[in-house]
Amino acid sequence: MNNIFDPAIEAFVDILDKLKIPYAIGGSVASSIYGQVRFTQDADVSVASFDGQIAKFCQAVEGGFYVSRQAVQQAHQNASSFNVIYLDSAFKIDVFVVSDDPFKRQVLLRREKVAFEEGSDRMYDLVSPEDIILLKLQWYMDGGATSQKQWNDILGVLKNRQDKLDMSYLLDWASKLSVLDLVNKATQEAKD
């Protein structure tokens, strides 16, 4: 696996696959795959609700990760997040339980199978390039529109994927999420 991606991701995804829990890796891991590579100390993973499998999930995870069963239960009750920490490296994975929010459901439905390394047979479900742009724009706005890391991640995806992006989808959701001006600004900046 590429050295910026901790083995924790593979171990965690193996558990999700075994339990047949739909997931999509997002955050800086996805933006590094689609755009410009940058070091990350954690991963963001969106998952479909697995309320009926919480005990099984926690039992499977506890072999290699620290996890709080209470946090997993609360995340399901509140459609929020919890984290797991890989014991071998202390790598943290933030796990977001997908809510009934239409955009968040779309993110999970539109995930793409992607290899972390060229020539690898190992595929991972990643948030689509369009959705990682939209999610990062939301995080950028939530942070007061000051995070240069988030902005650079957005520009990296736009520069590397501009001819392959579904622009009608991107612009439609950008309008719905009130980030259309930022998409237009970033698209222009990525072309310069």
Fold of 7-126: Beta Polymerase; domain 2 (3.30.460)
pTM, full prediction: 0.92
Q: What pLDDT shows up at residue 4?
A: 56
Residues of the chain with pLDDT under 50: 1-3
- The answer to whether the CB of 14 falls within 8 A of the CB of 64 is no
Question: Please, where in the chain does CATH 3.30.460 lie?
Answer: 7-126
Using a 10 angstrom Cβ sphere, with 0-12 exposed, 13-18 middle and 19 or more buried, the burial of residue 79 is: middle
Amino acid at 24: A
What's residue 3's pLDDT? 47
| CA gap 65, 91 in Å, rounded | 9
